[in-house]
Chains A and B, each alone.
Chain A
Amino acid sequence: MEVTLMINGDHFQFAALPDEVLVDTLRKLGFKSVKRGCETASCGVCNILLDGKLVPACAYLTVRADHREITTLEGLQEQAREIGAYIIAEGVEQCGYCSPGHMMAIAALFKEIAHPTLEQIKHVLAGNLCRCSGYEGQHRALTAYLSHRKEVSP
């Protein structure tokens, strides 16, 4: 089936099988920030934005995304650098595999709520698993990032 995707502002046109999922498509196209984890939409490492909404790429059929806008972490470099600085400062990352998924979830949350509370962040990040940590590092980093955001744009 012919599919047209708008990924990070660029058009991609190609043939896709009816049961192909976005994680396979996006990785084939070079968007390696979209990781393959559980393949059951449970872990959050494959999170992308579809028309601005967070979805799991491992569960979303490519043909369903025809003519829709997809954003991966490669398309959020400025925001990723900003959040990433706080993640590095708090020593959050061990293997780093879950970080892109976490960042996409945070980016999606900020689209809905400009200044979320830590409880709201924890609620949103409930769909992102980290095998290395106890999530405290992520919460510290995001608390610090939230304070910075409030100072910059109250």
Chain B
Amino acid sequence: MRITELYKPMDVQDAYEKLIGQKKATLMAGGMFLRLQKRTLPLVIDLSALPLKGIETINATEKDQAVSGCERLLIGAMTSLREIEMHPALPAVLRESVAQIAGVAVRNMATIGGSVMGRYPFSDINTALMALNATLHFYINGSVPISTFMSEGLQEQDILIGIEVPTLEDVRGTYKAFKVVYTDFPLVNVAVCQWPRNPEHLTIAIGARPGRAAICTHAYSNANVNVNVNESTDLGETQVEALLAHFTFGDDYRASEAYRRALAKALISDCLLEVEQWKSL
């Protein structure tokens, strides 16, 4: 990466005006993936000085209160993945999803906002956020469900301010991924969330299926499926297969479609075993 000019705004309005004021201006959050790109960036807008870090409690909308409680958590877009990993108030599914992303040093730099905006198909945290039905808060576009953003992207330039998720009390979830080595990109990942206010309702997200090679230009390859389950949540093999039928998988140089599907089946089965254990809590 080469940078011709770097600008460090102190507030979001300033950052936004700079973004729309120059063609090919690039926002830099953590900068981990930008660093790896072999291109020259005429203007980089460094977001590190903006007050977009940290986690606060906010009131839930009426629509969200039907599923989760009266309160939600708003995670600032520039909050690092390590802060998310270590924050005790965040749902376990989110904390688990970031724990094996590269090393601690990288997680201290990489941000949740940068991960979301990249719409990377191999993303661990985006799968967890999809299962949590997270809401994204943009400076211009306001609140956007993450599923909408992942499938459609943005029609105009914008700055992500925060990511809204349910509180620890309002969701139970688990995240599992298959990685060749501990800190690798996943071959496939799965997140399952259960909502105590509606315990027969599971949200299941599968990511890194793998999506196509042109990560930046193709729509996000994750999908989530709300599945109503029986009292026992005892999904037998045929029901897991039926659940998997909602998702598409593909080949790439890392794994075949068949292998990914087999891995996803095993991971979902493991997740559902955990869901069974939650019932006795």
Question: Contact at B31–A59, with CB atoms within 8 Å?
Answer: yes
Give the CA-CA distance A40 to B38 in the complex, in Å: 12
Which residues of B have CB within 8 Å of A18?
3-6, 44
Contacts of A123 in B (CB 8 A): 99
Q: B6 touching A56 by the CB < 8 A rule?
A: no
Task: Check if B180 is an interface residue, CB within 8 A of chain A.
Answer: no
User: Is A63 on the interface with B (CB-CB < 8 A)?
Assistant: yes
Q: Are A105 and B104 in contact (CB under 8 A)?
A: yes
Supposing A41-B102, A41-B106, A63-B6 touch, asked if A126 and B182 sit within 8 A by C-beta, the answer is: yes
Contact of A55 among B5, B46, B100, B108 (CB under 8 A): B108
Chain B: residues with Cβ within 8 Å of the partner, total of: 27
B143 smallest CB distance to A (angstroms): 30
CA distance A105 to B99 in the complex (A): 16
A143 at the interface (CB under 8 A from B): no
Complex Cα–Cα for A40 and B35 (A): 8
Say yes or no for B256: interface residue by CB 8 A criterion: no
Residues of chain B within 8 A of A139, CB atoms compared: none
Distance of A53 Cα from B48 Cα, bound (Å): 15
- A41 close to B105 (CB less than 8 A): yes
Nearest CB on B from A133, distance (A):
16
Chain B residue contacts of A61, Cβ below 8 A: 3, 6, 31, 46
What residues of B have a CB within 8 angstroms of the CB of A56 in the complex? 105-106, 109
* Cα A4 to Cα B135 with chains together (Å): 39
The residues of B that contact A55 with a CB separation of less than 8 Å are 105, 108-109
Minimum C-beta distance from A46 to chain B (A): 8
**Chain B neighbourhood of A80, CB < 8 A:** none
> B2, A108: Cβ atoms under 8 Å?
no
User: B108–A54 contact, CB under 8 A?
Assistant: yes
Contacts of B103 in A (CB 8 A): 41-42, 44, 105, 124, 126-128
Is A138 interfacial (CB 8 A cutoff)?
no
Report A57 CB to chain B, min CB distance, Å.
Answer: 9
Q: How far is the CB of B121 from chain A (nearest CB, A)?
A: 19
> By the criterion CB–CB under 8 Å, are A127 and B106 in contact?
yes
A123 to B82, CA, bound (A): 12
B57 at the interface (CB under 8 A from A): no
Residues of B within 8 A of A128 (CB): 103
Provided the pairs A59-B31, A61-B31 are in contact, do residues A42 and B102 lie with their beta carbons within 8 angstroms? yes
Q: Flag whether B36 is at the interface (Cβ < 8 A).
A: yes
In angstroms, Cα B86 to Cα A127, docked, is 17
Extra pairs beyond A17-B3, A63-B6 (11, CB < 8 Å):
A1-B6, A19-B1, A19-B2, A55-B105, A56-B106, A59-B31, A63-B8, A64-B48, A124-B103, A126-B183, A127-B106
* Contacts A/B (CB < 8 Å), 27 sampled: A18-B5, A19-B1, A19-B2, A41-B35, A41-B106, A44-B105, A47-B105, A55-B108, A56-B105, A56-B109, A59-B32, A60-B109, A61-B3, A61-B31, A63-B8, A63-B46, A64-B31, A105-B104, A105-B105, A112-B86, A123-B99, A124-B103, A126-B100, A127-B104, A127-B106, A127-B183, A128-B103
